Amino acid sequence: MPAGPESDILDSLRRISRALDVFSHSLAARFRITTPQLVCLRALLDAPAQTPGQLAKEVLLSQATVTGILDRLEARGFIERRRDAQDRRRVLLYVTPAGRKAAALAPTPLHQRLAANLAHLPSDERQRIAHVLRRVAAMMEEAAPPPA
């Protein structure tokens, strides 16, 4: 592909993907936790006693994906699932002391650091970035093969 804006855009997307990958691998190697696990753990610290469905909406993941994450967090002793005392059909999620320690030791997720940096930009610039990224995301979704 010849040099130009298209090449610059693709290069920027590769750099974003690489930054996410490097952060994820570093997190897993140093703290033995994945980025989605850390995001879920921190979301539960911010708002304990959520149901798995509420957490899935909070972290923008499917309920099936969150269930797998919760299974792994529970197996490591980072969270507990407890029946709601008022409605025994509901399961509520709580972070254990081991989970609090893991969340405290791990670095802030990359997307939260990016959000903090974006907050320093003027509002109109943030809006332009959001608009362009929505368009790029839509183009990528259109180009992606359908799920299996």
**Cβ contact 80:94 at 8 Å:** yes
Q: Residue ranges per domain, the chain?
A: 1-31, 33-105, 108-142
Cross-strand bridge partners of residue 82: 92
For 131-142, what is each residue's pLDDT tens digit?
999 999 999 888
Distance in angstroms (rounded) separating the CA atoms of residues 10 and 33: 29
For 3-50, what is each residue's pLDDT tens digit?
788 899 999 999 999 999 999 999 999 999 999 999 999 999 999 899
Q: 33-105: which CATH topology?
A: Arc Repressor Mutant, subunit A (1.10.10)
Distance in angstroms (rounded) separating the CA atoms of residues 148 and 139: 19
pTM for this entry:
0.79
**Cβ contact 78:40 at 8 Å:** no
Judged by average pLDDT, the poorest of 18-22, 37-41, 110-114, 123-127 is 110-114
Distance in angstroms (rounded) separating the CA atoms of residues 35 and 107: 10
